[in-house]
Amino acid sequence: MILEELEYEETAKLVKRGCTVAEAERRASHLIEQMRAAFGDAEVDGWEGLEGTYGLPDPDDEHVLAATVVAGAGAIVTDNMKHFPQPELPTGIEAISPAEFAANTVAVDPIRARVAVASIATRSGRKGPHLTPIFAQRIGPESHVPPPATQGPPTKSITTPL
C-alpha cells in the first residue's frame, strides 16, 4: 500500500513539474518497479488487522505503523514526526527523520557510504546541481554529520512518502 501511495505522489509531483500525465505515470511506475526489484523484502502483507489500533493523530497513517509492526522493523523514517508520536508507538519502534537515518547508516560503514555518495555524485547534474565526488570525502567520522541517536540503523525500517 505504501508503494502505491508513493507512485500516486510521484505521479502528482511529476505532473506539477510539467510532465504529461502519461509520462508521469510511466516514470512513477518505473520507479516503483525498480524499488520492488532492489528491495524484494520491503513489501509487507498481513498488516490490515492492526490498522486503526494505535490511536495515531492521523488515522490515515495507521497502515504505516501496522506494516512496521508486521515487518518487525525498528523505525519509521519520516519527516512527519508529529503523526508518529513516540508514546503511541509500540516498544522497540521509533520514528526518525531521514537525516538521522542517513547519519545512522553512514556511521555503520563510513567507507561504503563514501563510495555510494561518490557514485551518486558522478551521476548527478541531470536534474539539479552537479555534485563533485569530493563531496563524498566529507562523509565519515571526521565529518559534521550529527551523531546518531541510536546505535546504528535498524535492521528494517519503513519510509513514508513526503
Task: Sketch the domain layout of the chain as residue ranges.
Answer: 1-43
To the nearest 5 percent, what fractions of the chain are helix, strand and coil?
Answer: 55, 5, 40
pTM of the shown model? 0.64
> For residue 94, how many other CB atoms are within 10 A of its CB?
17
C-alpha cell at 95: 520514528
pLDDT greater at residue 133 or residue 90: 90
pLDDT tens for 141-162 read 444 444 444 444 444 555 555 4
C-alpha cell at 24: 508521469
pLDDT tens for 5-25 read 889 999 999 999 999 999 999
